Every structure is written in structure tokens, then in C-alpha cells.
A and B are shown apart, each in its own frame.
Chain A
Amino acid sequence: MIQGHAADVIIIGGGIIGAACANELTSHGLDVLVLDCQRPAATAAGMGHLVVLDHSPAELALGEYSVRLWRELAPQMPDNCAMRNNGTLWLACNEEEMAEAERKHSALSAFGLGCELMTGEALAHGEPSLRPGLFGALKVSGDGILYAPNAARWLLQRQPERVHQQQAQVVEVQGNRVLLASGQWLKATAVVLASGIYAGELCADLPLQAKKGHLLITDRYPAQISHTLVELGYVTSAHKGNGPSVAFNVQQRPTGQLFVGSSRQFDNHDPAVDAAMLGRMLRRAMEFLPGLGGLNGIRSWTGFRSASPDGQPLIGEHPTQPGLWLAVGHEGLGVTTATGTAKLLAAQLLRNPPPTALQAHLNAYLPQRFIGACAHA
């Protein structure tokens, strides 16, 4: 049975990407139906680190634009979103990593981002919990943190008369029509697929790979860390290969809890915590924060990043399924880039010009680079 027009847009997935898209589309006057089946996914698992990365000019442009949009939203966000503009410190252990810090400094500065290089001394003074003897750091001032599950809920509730939410599992998608597990077909002008790691179940030609990550959170402690601390090895060595890897990534939540990452494993779909991997991750964290060993970890869990082959998301209409729009493949940056993703998706869907900040790199986000005739040309 096909029901008539369920909404202007049906969004599959009520995580941070779907929520940001719903918020953006309703701000243009569209009615949105968000379908979510409450499976555990990346929005609930991740660290909520708003961080501008620069593996490519496209990644830098989307990250900078998106974090800027988050900062603009911040004054309106409720306290429970725990949004903080605390900045990221990229830590260099040695000269080689400091060279990477300098490269990153040039790249981000040229792009207009506020950032500064710090000596080892300045770093030790600014973050005294870090082990002595680090070489230096790059401070990126505009980065932040937030609690993504509440940010998603807030985005979905901003325009309640336009956003309708339904708990339902979509089992099939055909262009602008979706089939629910109940057997009901729903139709809209457009369908947006924003179900992260689950998107591949509904659209077999998506080139998405799961990258498993471990996380741990401690009990609450008096303030020890003021920035989000990430090792530069995160980009220079630790997560470069295809094998399992760990890298130091710690933030202190506004509650005082230390939130510890990160690990990465490919081709592992088991959500169970892998004690050996968690141990490796914590040993790495203790190499930077020796005091961590004296704190109590109270929970550890895993999540899956949904990664595309080039690490950039797929944002745009499916090349061979008119009416089906994709907002997937954000890997570990879905929270960061949700706002920019939503703007870019809405602009395309409404046939408006894309955001100026992203214009130079549009092809780097379009699904056409992987799907359809152009991808194989």
C-alpha cells in the first residue's frame, strides 16, 4: 500500500546528521518526517569533538564552515548540549611531529583559522597534567566539544510543527519512496538517507566501510585539562595504516569526567569491547597523561565510524535514484560536519547555490565520485 505524500522530505536516521538536515530543511519552510529505529549508532557513541581536520582542502573547507556554524548556534543551545569552545591542542612528541604542527599551522592560518604554535614550555604551563618533555603543540582555538545525543534532540525539536518524528525501521528505499518494516510504503518529494553505518543496508552501492572505535569515560574529577588534547601522531603515524591502531585523544567533559579515545579497527563488526584494544588505547593515553592511571574509568564502549574510500562524506542526490539524497560517510567527523552537511544538502535539494565556503570543492562531496556512470568513466 502506498500512502500519499508523507512529508516534503523523509529523513532516514535521527542522529546528528539527520537532525541537522531536518533543522535546515524546516528553516526553508519544508515539512520533514524523521524515521529512526533507535539502533545504537555513531552519534551516541562518539566524543562530540568539533575539530577542523585538513587532510584535503575539501575537508578543511567543510570542517571550518561547519564548526563556524556550530559556534553561531551555541548561544541558542540548551545547557544539556554541553557545548564548549575549548579549542584543540595538537601535541607534538618530537621534531618530526612539530614539523607537522607547523605545516598544519600554515594551512589553517592561510584559511583564516585562529591557531598558534606552542613551545614545550608553554604547553607544560598550559596543560600541567601532560607528561613533561613534550616538544610543543598547535592550538586551534575555534574547535570545541558538545554532547551530540542532546544536540541532535535539540535540532529535531526546534520547529516541532514542521518536524515529525516516528520510530520505524526502513527496510527498503526506492528513490523518493521508503518501505517500513510494518509493510507500509511512504512517499515524499525527497528522501534523505542519513543512517550512518546502516545506510549500506538500504543502498548497496554505497562505498562505506565500518571503522570500529573504543571509548572510555572516567568518574568526575576536579578540572585537570582545559583543551581537547590530541596527539599529532593521530595524523602522522598512528592511524595511517590499515591495521588496528590507537592514538591519544582526551577531553574533559563539563561534568569533570575525562573522555578517552581513540582506537581504530577495520573489518570488525563486533560491538563488544575488545580488552586488548582498550588496554592499548589506555596505555597510549597514559603515555601522555600519567595521572590517568590513578583515575577510575566507569564505562567503556565502542562505536563504528562510517567511512568512504577518500574519507570525505557523500552529500547530494543519488546519481541513479532520483529523489534519494545521501548524507553519509562522515567517518569520525559527523558531529563536526553535520551543520555544513545540512546546508550543502539543503542547497542542492532546493536548487539553491551551494554555500560560498564550499563552492570551490563541490565535487569532493558529491556521490557521483563513487556511484553512477561518472564514477566509472
Chain B
Amino acid sequence: MPELSIDGQPFRFAQGTTVAAALMSSGDRCSRTSVSGQRRAPLCGMGICQECRVNIDGLRRLACQTICREGMQVQTRS
């Protein structure tokens, strides 16, 4: 099974899994920390609400619109 990293923790995924789905089954299920310090998680799952923005390989992406790839570095606390 291919593997990526979420906040340094390895995560194995089935092909076609979105990063949002990966987040839902790991850690605190959140994608980022808001400006007021709250942890935030994917909500709409269809690219509209912008809650699931997350850093992937150094770029800000929407977790629900991004398919997991081997070796991805996903960071929810940066």
C-alpha cells in the first residue's frame, strides 16, 4: 500500500483516497489551525467551504480536492 505522511506520521492509503479522507482517519482529524487558534476540519467535502485547506508539500491546498499520492508531506499545524 502506498504511504504518505501526516504531521510526520506515516499513513497508508488505498488508491483514489482524498487527503480529506486520510485526515478523517488520522490524528485529530483536522486540517489546520484557525487564526483564533481553533483546530478546523473538512466540512463540505466538495471544494466549496474552504475549511479543509492544508499544507501539502509546502503549498496550501484543499484536502477534499486533492488525491493522496505516494510520499506526500501533509502538515496540519504549520
Q: Which residues of A contact B (CB under 8 A)?
A: 219-220, 255-256, 295-296, 298-299
CB pair A299–B50 under 8 Å, yes or no, is yes
Closest approach, in angstroms, between the C-beta of B76 and any C-beta of chain A? 14
The closest CB in chain B to the CB of A295 belongs to B60
The contact sample of 12 A-B pairs, CB cut-off 8 A, is A219-B50, A219-B53, A219-B60, A220-B35, A255-B35, A256-B35, A295-B60, A296-B53, A296-B60, A298-B50, A298-B53, A299-B50
Question: Interface digits, B33-73 against A, CB 8 Å rule (1 contact, 0 not)?
Answer: 00100000000000000100100000010000000000000
In the docked arrangement, what's the CA distance between A295 and B35, Å?
17
Q: Which residues of B contact A219 (CB under 8 A)?
A: 50, 53, 60
Closest approach, in angstroms, between the C-beta of B38 and any C-beta of chain A? 13
Closest approach, in angstroms, between the C-beta of B17 and any C-beta of chain A? 22
Q: Which residues of A contact B60 (CB under 8 A)?
A: 219, 295-296
Question: Given known contacts A220-B35, A295-B60, what 8 new A-B pairs fall within 8 Å (CB)?
Answer: A219-B50, A219-B53, A219-B60, A255-B35, A256-B35, A296-B53, A296-B60, A298-B53
Closest approach, in angstroms, between the C-beta of B41 and any C-beta of chain A? 16
The closest CB in chain A to the CB of B61 belongs to A296
Sorted nearest first, the 5 A-B pairs with minimum C-beta distance are A298-B50, A255-B35, A296-B60, A219-B60, A219-B53
Q: Which residues of A contact B53 (CB under 8 A)?
A: 219, 296, 298
In the docked arrangement, what's the CA distance between A220 and B36, Å?
12
In the docked arrangement, what's the CA distance between A219 and B35, Å?
10
In the docked arrangement, what's the CA distance between A255 and B53, Å?
16
The closest CB in chain B to the CB of A256 belongs to B35
**B:8-53 near A, CB below 8 Å:** 35, 50, 53
Closest approach, in angstroms, between the C-beta of B9 and any C-beta of chain A? 24
In the docked arrangement, what's the CA distance between A255 and B33, Å?
13
In the docked arrangement, what's the CA distance between A255 and B50, Å?
16
Closest approach, in angstroms, between the C-beta of B30 and any C-beta of chain A? 16
The closest CB in chain A to the CB of B62 belongs to A296
In the docked arrangement, what's the CA distance between A199 and B53, Å?
40
In the docked arrangement, what's the CA distance between A298 and B60, Å?
11
Closest approach, in angstroms, between the C-beta of B50 and any C-beta of chain A? 4
In the docked arrangement, what's the CA distance between A296 and B65, Å?
13
Q: Which residues of B contact A298 (CB under 8 A)?
A: 50, 53
Q: Which residues of A contact B50 (CB under 8 A)?
A: 219, 298-299
Closest approach, in angstroms, between the C-beta of B56 and any C-beta of chain A? 12
Closest approach, in angstroms, between the C-beta of B31 and any C-beta of chain A? 12
The closest CB in chain B to the CB of A254 belongs to B35
In the docked arrangement, what's the CA distance between A220 and B78, Å?
11
In the docked arrangement, what's the CA distance between A219 and B40, Å?
14
In the docked arrangement, what's the CA distance between A165 and B14, Å?
56
Q: Which residues of B contact A299 (CB under 8 A)?
A: 50
Closest approach, in angstroms, between the C-beta of B57 and any C-beta of chain A? 14
Closest approach, in angstroms, between the C-beta of A241 and any C-beta of chain B? 35
In the docked arrangement, what's the CA distance between A298 and B53, Å?
9
Closest approach, in angstroms, between the C-beta of B36 and any C-beta of chain A? 9
Closest approach, in angstroms, between the C-beta of B43 and any C-beta of chain A? 13
Closest approach, in angstroms, between the C-beta of B74 and any C-beta of chain A? 16
In the docked arrangement, what's the CA distance between A256 and B60, Å?
14
Closest approach, in angstroms, between the C-beta of B8 and any C-beta of chain A? 22
Q: Which residues of B contact A296 (CB under 8 A)?
A: 53, 60
The closest CB in chain B to the CB of A253 belongs to B35
Q: Which residues of B contact A220 (CB under 8 A)?
A: 35
Q: Which residues of B contact A256 (CB under 8 A)?
A: 35
Q: Which residues of B contact A295 (CB under 8 A)?
A: 60
Q: Which residues of A contact B35 (CB under 8 A)?
A: 220, 255-256
In the docked arrangement, what's the CA distance between A296 and B51, Å?
13
In the docked arrangement, what's the CA distance between A299 and B49, Å?
9
Closest approach, in angstroms, between the C-beta of A145 and any C-beta of chain B? 16
Closest approach, in angstroms, between the C-beta of A80 and any C-beta of chain B? 10
In the docked arrangement, what's the CA distance between A256 and B50, Å?
16
In the docked arrangement, what's the CA distance between A309 and B50, Å?
40
In the docked arrangement, what's the CA distance between A295 and B60, Å?
8
The closest CB in chain A to the CB of B35 belongs to A255
Closest approach, in angstroms, between the C-beta of B29 and any C-beta of chain A? 20
